[in-house]
Amino acid sequence: MVSIPALWLPIFGSAILVFVASSIIHMLLPYHHNDFGQVPSEGEVMEALRRYSIPPGDYVIPYAGTPKEMNSPAFVEKATKGPVAFVTVMPSGPPAMGASLVQWFIFCILVGIMAAYITGRTLGPGANYLDVFRFAGTTAFIAYAVAQWSDSIWYHRAWSTTLKNTFDGFVYALLTAGMFGWLWPEG
């Protein structure tokens, strides 16, 4: 067994590698550029929503407060007539990436801690590189990729976007696994 504090170097090393890789993927590679589409008559839709001063948060249209209400004729009519949407309203203003990047890096550290926990409880010092790679990589893949599949299942996010995110998660898992295998404590 290897303690989490003994694995601080692969935890932070993998977080840094994943942070850099995700920056390259999202800033330099074009395959995520079409993950979101433009709403028809965007200006008119924005103007229509603006007058309601909707606070930042997650919303569903139409809204049913209870499962029973989802079966009411009025709700069924609204849902049938459409549109049906899951909407995230963010604070107005120019894009500010700072807080999101800090949160992403913290998330990468947490994934590293989970990989350290699972791998460290399973394997001891001096474990074989491929065994470390397998446990750390699988744990990281579950955190970075599999956890997002439910967005396509429940919120109808395009499966094409989820598959691209799964590929990204696979890359992040490989980087995490490689860092853990490389820096695993000797016996």
pLDDT confidence tier of residue 114, bands split at 50, 70 and 90: very high
Q: What is the pLDDT of residue 182?
A: 98
Say yes or no: 11 and 84 in one domain.
no
Q: Single out the residue in 56, 89, 122 at which a domain terminates.
A: 89
Count Cα atoms within 13 angstroms, Cβ side, for 79. Answer: 12
State the total domains in the chain: 2
Say yes or no: 78 and 130 in one domain.
no
pLDDT confidence tier of residue 83, bands split at 50, 70 and 90: very high
Say yes or no: 15 and 83 in one domain.
no
- Please provide the DSSP assignment of 149-169 as one string: HHHHHHH---HHHHHHHHHHH
Mean pLDDT of the chain: 96
Domain that holds residue 146: 5-33+95-183
Q: Does the pLDDT value for residue 166 go beyond 90?
A: yes
pLDDT confidence tier of residue 29, bands split at 50, 70 and 90: very high
Q: How far is CA 81 from CA 61, 72, 99, 121, 172, in A?
A: 11, 14, 38, 53, 42
Say yes or no: 10 and 26 in one domain.
yes
- pLDDT 10s digits, 38-66: 999 999 999 999 999 999 999 999 999 99
The whole-number average pLDDT for the span 152-181 is: 97
Q: How far is CA 59 from CA 14, 68, 157, in A?
A: 35, 19, 15
Say yes or no: 143 and 52 in one domain.
no
Task: Look at phi and psi of residue 121 and say left if phi exceeds 0, alpha if psi is from -120 to 50, else beta.
Answer: alpha
The whole-number average pLDDT for the span 158-174 is: 97
pLDDT confidence tier of residue 119, bands split at 50, 70 and 90: very high
Say yes or no: 111 and 134 in one domain.
yes
Say yes or no: 124 and 175 in one domain.
yes
Say yes or no: 80 and 101 in one domain.
no
Say yes or no: 81 and 104 in one domain.
no
Tell which residue, 180, 182, 183, has the closest CA to residue 117. 180
Say yes or no: 27 and 69 in one domain.
no
Helix (H) or strand (E) holding 15: helix 8-27
The Cα–Cα gap between 114 and 133 comes to 14
Say yes or no: 114 and 177 in one domain.
yes
Q: Does the pLDDT value for residue 168 go beyond 90?
A: yes
pTM for this prediction: 0.91
3-state secondary structure of 61: strand
Which residues lie below 8 Å from residue 165, measured CB to CB, with a gap of 6+? 145, 148
Say yes or no: 99 and 119 in one domain.
yes
Q: What is the pLDDT of residue 187?
A: 81
